[in-house]
Amino acid sequence: MRLRRLAWAGAELEHEGHTLVIDLIGNGDPMFSTREIPLSRPGATAAALVTHLHSDHADPVAARVALAEGAPVFRPEPFPGSAEDNRWTDGVERAFREQLPEAEVLRPWQQRSVGPFRVMAVPAVDGLGDPQLSWVVDCAGVRIFHGGDTIFHGYWWLIARRFGPIDTAFVPINGPVVELDHLQPPSPFNAVMLPEQAAEAAHILGAATAVPMHYGLHRPGAYEETPDAVPRFQRRARELGIVPNLAQPGEWFSR
């Protein structure tokens, strides 16, 4: 199986001409804009997975362009709150209703099979309180984990027991402290895993290799990334016996 990072926290998996994407974004939210990576099979992708409905992780327009006709989209459940509660998900929810009304909600531990891929939804915890999943994908005897932008939580051991060991873990590392108008007073704690936490999570999952993602954005006063995220992740991963793979967006590698 071949793998690669896409923009920001996106990933693409390929096996014998079949592809699957996770957290695909096109131009995304301007705050999180990054270079868009062309897909290998536009209009022929077998499935799309979404960890949560923030615009830097979910882009129904980009997914519609990527997917083959009738290809499934798997996503977490909507948040049953007020408009104020849903300020960071309402826009994407509307886009899902317009572009991908057939998208299927999965809950933790549910599984689906698409072509050569077996897809497993696993628990995650969003740093802003919105519904989130992580994903494990099994294909040709290789297991891939994708952590969206989860914080560190207590489900790692359950995931490892049920679906481990993981061959390659895509883990978010930038540990930002965020301040948003609708989340007041603000939290001084990290809304995404810190680099060391990401390495520890990969270690619990039994990952042989870990790909850091979700880093490179620092907006003082709004979204403040932890310093030196990549070297800190590399150092802790190596201490734990994990090979850190600093794959650049668009770069393919094999497992």
H helices present in the chain, as ranges: 60-66, 90-99, 156-163, 195-204, 229-239
Global pTM?
A: 0.96
Q: In this structure, what token pair is assigned to residue 197?
A: 């936490």
Give which of 191, 247, 165, 155 is closest to 52, Cα–Cα.
191
For residue 222, the tally of other CB atoms under 10 A from its CB is: 13
* Main-chain phi, psi angles of 184, to 5 degrees: -125, 140
Q: Are 134 and 150 in contact (CB under 8 A)?
A: yes
CB 179, CB 222: distance < 8 Å: yes
DSSP-derived letter for residue 207 is: -
CB-count exposure of residue 29 (10 Å: 0-12, 13-18, 19+): middle
pLDDT digit string (tens) for the chain, length 255 residues: 999 999 899 999 999 999 999 999 986 444 555 567 888 899 999 999 999 999 999 999 999 999 999 999 999 999 888 888 888 899 999 999 999 999 999 999 999 999 999 999 999 999 999 999 999 999 999 999 999 999 999 999 999 999 999 999 999 999 999 999 989 999 999 999 999 999 999 999 999 999 999 999 999 999 999 999 999 999 999 999 999 999 999 999 998
The residues facing 171 across adjacent strands are: 212
Residue appearing with tokens 């590698």: 253
In the chain, how long is the greatest CA-to-CA distance? 50
Correct CATH for 2-247 of 3.90.280.10, 3.40.140.10, 3.30.390.50, 3.60.15.10: 3.60.15.10
Q: Name the helix (H) or strand (E) containing 4.
A: strand 2-5
| Three-state secondary-structure class, residue 121 | strand
What are the structure tokens assigned to 212, written together?
Answer: 């850091």
